[in-house]
Amino acid sequence: MFIIYLIFIDDMDSKILENTPLYSAFSELGKRISLPQGVFYWSGRAKKEAELIGTIGAAYAHEDDFIKEGRSEWLPCYLEGINEYFKNLKINDLVPYAAISGIPELRDIWKNWIIYKSLLNKTVDKEKLDRLKKYTTTPIITTGVTNGISLICSLLLNANDYIITPNKRWGNYDNIIKGFLGAKIKSFKYFKEQQFNFEGFEEAIDEVAVVQDKVLILLNFPNNPTGHVLTKEEALKLIELLQRKQKEVKKPILVIIDDAYEPYIYTENVINRSLFYDLQDLEEDIIPIKLDGATKELLLYGARIGFITIGLKPKWTKNDKELEILKNEINNKLSGLIRSTISNSNHFYQAVMINLFNTKGIEEILMMREPVQNLLKERYIKINSELKKIKNPNMSVDPSSGGFFTFININPNHVKASEFAELLLTKYKVGVIPIEKPDENVNGIRIAYCSIDITQIPEIVNRIKLAFADF
């Protein structure tokens, strides 16, 4: 298996394809696009070479740690009883196409879910809630959050347009924005003195606003790879900054919010609901677009069900009739994108989700998920307390409050992240994902504690400490 993998890498390097007539027939996209090997290379090697694996970005645990009558088997975490909703589905739930924009019943269910989530941990006055219900589009169903990002970026970005997103971000953003669309990322340094870097963010907005008639921003909380979530003060500051900027530049600011890890929040001082809601509330043309899905929220990675939801502004329409027309027009645009790419999303899993929501209801679903949230929170606490014990001027841990990962910065003058990961893997048998972007000031390793048993965390951290001592 290992040999086959090396041959694959060799093949990639030798670029035989480029010298064929097939390649010369490729479109610009065809020539540009590729699957970067980074994450797959390191996770593939970790599977074969590591004793302790911190590369897998999905929640795993011993079944008896999250299911009452579970066994000790190491499994992807799932909602107790989820298998029930796969049974008793009728032929009509399985065989036909789903509607292009998704089964209407599930779209309504998800809109209620989004409204419900706005109320979690927060008292919202009736006026705001009514506004949220009225001026939020009915979510459109995509094939996972990835497809949602890709569709929405296709809707907004021309080739060479800029979108602002921090230097520490999910690597697939680059594939979609640069590789697929041929657009550009205006990166800014995520943190300044362990806080969200407002200066860098503002500079990025200023630079983009000069060259473009719109400002596009892509943010993700809890963040992959750092686990960062805005503190409540940071969120207020960010909102004020956006309001000030919008008044100044007088161009629409669109904020795409990747809420893939929305429910996994482990500390009190941070925002415990999506930034979407506060942005939706603003009068200015600061337009929030929420991307979320069943993948992590309902622990159904393979279901490939995601949603796009857009916050509209009351001033855009004169009456309810116009508002309805506007919603239909937006729906039509997104449906056009879906029809011309994936045609429609998986019917079976939409039916499973409808069955789950209709049988259990939102509150019970939240309770079903709680054991997994608690388990991840315990690991989060453990890994952070262990990492605090390492005192080394060449490393620092980014602020984190949620999600599946933690990120250790390594001084690039001391050692490159890939060299560090190599030693960690070969000598200490620990697999992590190195992220190395010298142009964007990133040099560090991502640890996916979502798939590391809590009992292994002290040992992993100890081996990281030993590896630091080797350089």
Query: In angstroms, what is the minimal distance from the CB of 463 to ligand PLP?
Result: 25
**For ligand PLP, which is the closer residue by CB, 162 or 170?**
170
Burial 324-343, CB ≥16 within 10 A → b, else e: eeebeebbeebbebbeeebe
Q: What is the DSSP string of 183-250?
A: -EEEEE-SEETTEE-HHHHHHHHHHHHHH-SSEEEEEESSPTTT----BHHHHHHHHHHHHHHHHHH-
**Neighbour count for residue 373 (Cβ, 10 Å):** 18
- The total number of residues shown for the chain amounts to 471
**Choices 144-152, 187-195, 335-343, 410-418 (CB under 6 A): range interacting with ligand PLP:** 144-152
User: What does the alpha-carbon distance between residue 151 and residue 322 come to, in Å, rounded to a whole number?
Assistant: 25
User: What does the alpha-carbon distance between residue 342 and residue 144 come to, in Å, rounded to a whole number?
Assistant: 12
Residues 418-437, interacting with ligand PLP (CB under 6 A): none
Query: In angstroms, what is the minimal distance from the CB of 222 to ligand PLP?
Result: 9
**For ligand PLP, which is the closer residue by CB, 222 or 428?**
222
61 has which bridge partners? Answer: 75
Residue, CB closest to ligand PLP: 144
**Choices 5-13, 138-146, 229-237, 353-361 (CB under 6 A): range interacting with ligand PLP:** 138-146
Q: Which two tokens stand for residue 70?
A: 């579970």
DSSP-derived 3-state class of residue 407:
strand
Looking at 54, 102, 144, 431, which residue binds ligand PLP (CB under 6 A)?
144
Query: In angstroms, what is the minimal distance from the CB of 260 to ligand PLP?
Result: 4
> 383, 382, 446, 458: which is closest to 409 by C-alpha?
446
DSSP-derived 3-state class of residue 87:
coil
Residues 198-237, interacting with ligand PLP (CB under 6 A): 220, 224
* 406 touches ligand PLP by CB under 6 A: no
Q: How many residues bind ligand PLP, per CB under 6 A?
A: 12
**For ligand PLP, which is the closer residue by CB, 200 or 402?**
402
Nearest 5°: CA angle at 323, between 317 and 328?
130
Looking at 65, 161, 234, 258, which residue binds ligand PLP (CB under 6 A)?
258
Which DSSP letter does residue 270 get?
B
Query: In angstroms, what is the minimal distance from the CB of 291 to ligand PLP?
Result: 7
SS3 content of the chain, % helix, strand, coil (to 5): 50, 15, 35
Query: In angstroms, what is the minimal distance from the CB of 114 to ligand PLP?
Result: 16
User: What does the alpha-carbon distance between residue 373 and residue 66 come to, in Å, rounded to a whole number?
Assistant: 9
Nearest 5°: CA angle at 305, between 449 and 286?
85
**For ligand PLP, which is the closer residue by CB, 302 or 361?**
302
**Choices 70-78, 80-88, 130-138, 139-147 (CB under 6 A): range interacting with ligand PLP:** 139-147
Spell out, one character per residue from 10 to 49, where the chain touches ligand PLP: x when CB under 6 A holds, - when not.
----------------------------------------
Spell out, one character per residue from 271 to 310, where the chain touches ligand PLP: x when CB under 6 A holds, - when not.
----------------------x-x----------x----
CB-CB contact of 257 with 219 (8 Å): yes
Query: In angstroms, what is the minimal distance from the CB of 210 to ligand PLP?
Result: 29
**For ligand PLP, which is the closer residue by CB, 295 or 350?**
295
Looking at 54, 57, 371, 402, which residue binds ligand PLP (CB under 6 A)?
57
* 170 touches ligand PLP by CB under 6 A: yes
**For ligand PLP, which is the closer residue by CB, 166 or 311?**
166
User: What does the alpha-carbon distance between residue 188 and residue 298 come to, in Å, rounded to a whole number?
Assistant: 32
- For ligand PLP, the binding residues (CB under 6 A) are 57, 144-146, 170, 220, 224, 258, 260, 293, 295, 306
